[in-house]
Structure 1
Amino acid sequence: MRAKISYFIMAAVLAVYFVLAGGRGVALIQQGTWLTVTFGVAVFILPVIGGWFLWQNTRFVTRANRLATELEAEGGLPVDELARDEHGRILRDSADEVFARRKEETEDAPNDWRNWFRLAVAYHDARDTPRARKAMQRAIALHQHEKKPVRT
């Protein structure tokens, strides 16, 4: 819950920043000189790109949370079976062992979004964020494909 609140606060702060920066960009463009128009376009483009990234990330998180909720309802969320050190950090060997099992499960049933979700969690636990994100994107895509009505 704390992570959701932090995310929404950060998103709100960024949205305010994007509006303020975009307003400055528009004001610079309205000045009309070649220098202020150039700076204004540059200042205006950055919030547009930032807003797009924020929107994409929010969609990703929302979809991943929906999958987690559905998987939890099915009783299929991965169980935390990782060994930890005295500070609570995941031990690398333990994460690698769980990852190997999750990878094998996914290879055995590559079209099951549930396996890809669990593989994404294993990648995350192994501190491989780029692959965790790609695995979660695959899970989301498979889930969306599964939920589409069949056309006749």
Structure 2
Amino acid sequence: MKIVALVAFLVLALIYYFIRLGGLAIAYIADGGFAGIAIGIGMLLLPTVGVWIVWTTLQAALAHQHLARRIHDEGLEVDTSQLPHRPSGRIERAAADALFAQIKTEWEADPDNWRSSYRLARAYDYAGDRTRARETMRRAVALEKLEREA
């Protein structure tokens, strides 16, 4: 609940910032000079891009949370409790690599199942490959959506 409140506060702060920035941009454009119009248009782009980033990030977070809830309810979470951890809390590299190899084998047996893609995304994350973790999580979200719609 604390995280939801924090995210809500940050989104509201960004909305306030975007409104203020938009107002300043319009004032620059209304000034009528070439430089003012150029700066105003540039300033209008910032809130537009910012709204898009916030929207897509929140959509992705909600979709990932939905999958995490379903995986938890089905008892298919990746169990890392028995793996050795560093003082920072991250899984030891060799253990993360072994876990990744095991889960990748499971995924190769059923690559079109969102559950195996979700587990593989988590394994990529534990192994430290955030780029592939994000790509694979997007695939899991798409596959789960297809399953729900079918």
The structural deviation recorded for 1:91 is 0.9
Quick one: structure 1 residues 92 and 4, their matched pair in 2 at CA, closer, same or farther if it must change by over 3 Å?
Answer: farther
Q: Give the match for residue 115 of structure 2.
A: 114
Q: Give the match for residue 90 of structure 2.
A: 89
The structural deviation recorded for 1:13 is 2.4
The worse-fitting range, judged by mean Cα deviation, of 18-27 and 53-62 is 18-27
Whole-angstrom CA distance in 2 between matches of 1:130 and 1:15:
29
Q: Give the match for residue 41 of structure 2.
A: 41
Q: Which amino acid aligns with 1:46?
A: L
**Equivalent pairs: percent with the same residue?**
34
TM-score scaled by structure 1?
A: 0.89
Q: How many residues align?
A: 149
Gaps of 5+ in 2: none
The structural deviation recorded for 1:87 is 4.2
Q: Give the match for residue 23 of structure 1.
A: 23
Whole-angstrom CA distance in 2 between matches of 1:105 and 1:4:
33
The worse-fitting range, judged by mean Cα deviation, of 124-133 and 78-87 is 78-87
Q: Does 1:135 align with 2:131?
A: no
TM-score scaled by structure 2?
A: 0.90
The structural deviation recorded for 1:50 is 1.2
Q: Give the match for residue 68 of structure 1.
A: 68
The structural deviation recorded for 1:127 is 2.0
The structural deviation recorded for 1:85 is 2.4
Structure 1's consecutive aligned runs of 4 or more residues displaced over 6 angstroms after TM superposition are: none
Q: Which amino acid aligns with 1:125?
A: Y
Whole-angstrom CA distance in 2 between matches of 1:144 and 1:87:
35
Whole-angstrom CA distance in 2 between matches of 1:104 and 1:92:
18
1:78 alignment partner, SS class: coil
Q: Which amino acid aligns with 1:75?
A: G
Whole-angstrom CA distance in 2 between matches of 1:147 and 1:103:
24
The structural deviation recorded for 1:3 is 4.1
The worse-fitting range, judged by mean Cα deviation, of 113-122 and 79-88 is 79-88
Quick one: structure 1 residues 101 and 59, their matched pair in 2 at CA, closer, same or farther if it must change by over 3 Å?
Answer: same
Q: Give the match for residue 101 of structure 2.
A: 100
